[in-house]
Amino acid sequence: MRALVDEMETAYENDIECFEQKRPAIFKLKLLPKVESILKRFIYQRALLEMGDGSGLEILRKWLSKTKRGPPPSLQIKKSLLDIVLQLPVTDDNLKESKIGQVIYTMRNNPNEDPELKKTLKEIIDKWTRVITDTNDYNSLIEDYRDRKKIAVSLDDYRQQSMSSLRKSIPRMVNKRSGFDFVRRPQQEGGSRSMSGRQQATEECDKLIKEMKRKMKKEIR
């Protein structure tokens, strides 16, 4: 893939030189069939995008650009390269590394651009917009998942702390409600009354636990 990109770069520079010398600039046109035959294959499209320095998309940008130094790209070159660009499995990172997006938008907004090319340009822009949007949505989902995980951990800590406080406060609360003293053993006046007191204390504890659990559920919601 590096060899093809180097050939495209050489053809680009040769056309600029020919243009400055007022000679026919046909090096890119001569190389175009080879470029098409290679870059229409998915495996080479991936290789082009995975070039570490971003030179893959950059050479396509140069071929599509209209510069003061060189000749404007021919309709044939633009049509062939835009068809290839539309097929490229670009990612959000690919678009950030290259300035090809600026060229695509400029061509799309050019009132003198060929109508058929404008349709292809619109398809490219729509596709890239979905790529960027889907990436941002994915990142948002990841952040949302992390936030939810933090909330879940916080709620779990809250439940544990609340239950711990509840266990510590039950004797004091029963003391206030029923008049029982859990620190000082009550004097038994009779077996039946002592048993009745224990049952009453158990019932009071059960009621308090249910009441505190109901309050905790309301707070968590």
For residue 121, being part of any structural domain is answered with no
Q: For residues 135 and 148, give the distance between their C-alpha atoms in angstroms, rounded to a whole number.
A: 20
Distance of CA 206 to the CA centre of its chain: 50
CB atoms within 10 A of CB 25: 21
User: Where residue 62 falls among pLDDT bands split at 50, 70, 90?
Assistant: very high
For residue 21, being part of any structural domain is answered with yes
Kindly state whether residues 6 and 107 are assigned to the same domain: yes
Closest CA to 89 of 128, 141, 147: 128
Q: At what angle do helices 100-108 and 115-178 cross, to 10 degrees?
A: 120
Kindly state whether residues 6 and 108 are assigned to the same domain: yes
What is the number of structural domains in the chain? 2
Q: What is the pLDDT of residue 167?
A: 59
Mean pLDDT of 26-30: 95
Q: What is the pLDDT of residue 36?
A: 94
User: Half-sphere exposure of residue 207, counting CA atoms within 13 Å on the CB side?
Assistant: 10
pLDDT higher than threshold 90 for residue 63: yes
69-122 per-position pLDDT tens digit: 888 899 999 999 999 999 999 988 888 888 898 999 999 999 999 999 999 999
pLDDT higher than threshold 60 for residue 137: no
Residue 164's domain spans which residues?
Answer: 139-220
Kindly state whether residues 163 and 91 are assigned to the same domain: no
Three-state DSSP state, 191? helix
For residue 131, being part of any structural domain is answered with no
Contact present, 95 and 131 (Cβ < 8 Å) = yes
Kindly state whether residues 99 and 174 are assigned to the same domain: no
